[in-house]
Amino acid sequence: MITRTSMKRAQWIVGVICLLELTGSGRAPAAGLSPEDVRFGPAALTFSAGFIRADMPQEGMVVRARDDRRLNGPADLVYLHLSHPSEVSPGDTFTVYRSIRKVFHPTGGDYVGDLISIRGVVRVTSIARDIAAAKIVRAYDAITQGEVIMRFASPVEDSGSGSARSALDHPGMVIDVQYQGGLIGQGNIAYVDLGRRDGLQAGDTLELIRTSPGLPPRTIGELQVLSVEDHTATTLIARTTENIYRGDRVTFSKDQTAPTPAPSVEEPVQAPTQTP
């Protein structure tokens, strides 16, 4: 039910947005975290590939995309509702993300975390009370009303070397893929149930193992680890001879030679929008 209070709140937000459109360009931005390292190249692929995590910071949300555009590009405006406006200044950068779905382990059914889709990076240009105008610095997918923001942080690269470590002492499993439906093969993103606490590092190579009743296990491809969480990792399917499924086994490759280079993200990625 639409109440008088909610109507007044909506009218106030629209008024603030109009004010920001008129005054946003007149304020000098303060120094903020630079998102330049995730605009293009391998870092952009790693950042935009998402991850699985149970807890995510929520520092506000997108309340409107200017002109309600379905696809967004650099310099397009969005408007943010800030949870802590006193802690935000023009020039600050935020990551826009969406929780796509809850991920449960294929075997035990235990909750692993939420699949987080990174939609883009925005920079605040002006603030009025708890509403901020922000320009899109990089859009990996459509940025729409209701998506959540958190402080931007550059991807952390692990300093260790996979070639200097012994093989992981237990196999893992593919627990989800970035985009469901259709064929999942080379160039797609898959998530596994091995992570930082298992000794996995960004840059490692995992072998994909297919098991079939009555047949010996066989290697069907390789995964390149892009980023790691404590108990999960985001990987690029670098090579495969068959379609990949949830539940496929993965093992740490003993031959940690240089993996197939990850494709660079040279243009804004407009991947199919997922419905949570």
Round to whole Å and give the CA distance between 197 and 229: 8
> Residue 42: what pLDDT?
79
Q: For CA atoms 104, 272, 43, 208, give the dihedral sign.
A: positive
Round to whole Å and give the CA distance between 54 and 111: 9
- Alpha helices, DSSP H, located in the chain: 4-23, 41-48
> Residue 59: what pLDDT?
95
Round to whole Å and give the CA distance between 40 and 43: 7
Q: What is the pTM of this model?
A: 0.75
> Residue 44: what pLDDT?
81
Contacts of 222 (CB under 8 A, 6+ apart): 205, 206, 207, 208, 237, 238, 239, 240, 253, 259, 260
> Residue 213: what pLDDT?
86
Which residues belong to CATH 2.40.10.410 in the chain? 162-252
Mean pLDDT per 10-residue run, the chain (276 residues)? 45 41 36 59 84 94 75 80 95 94 95 95 94 93 91 66 54 91 84 92 92 87 93 94 91 64 46 44
Q: Which structure tokens are listed for 146?
A: 């209701």
**Do 190 and 184 touch, CB atoms closer than 8 A?**
yes
Per residue in 201-239, pLDDT (tens digit) is: 999 999 999 988 888 889 999 999 999 999 999 999 999
Nearest to 138 by CA among 88, 96, 183: 96
Round to whole Å and give the CA distance between 136 and 139: 7
Round to whole Å and give the CA distance between 146 and 226: 28
> Residue 70: what pLDDT?
61
Task: Give, in words, the CATH class of 162-252.
Answer: mainly beta
> Residue 185: what pLDDT?
85
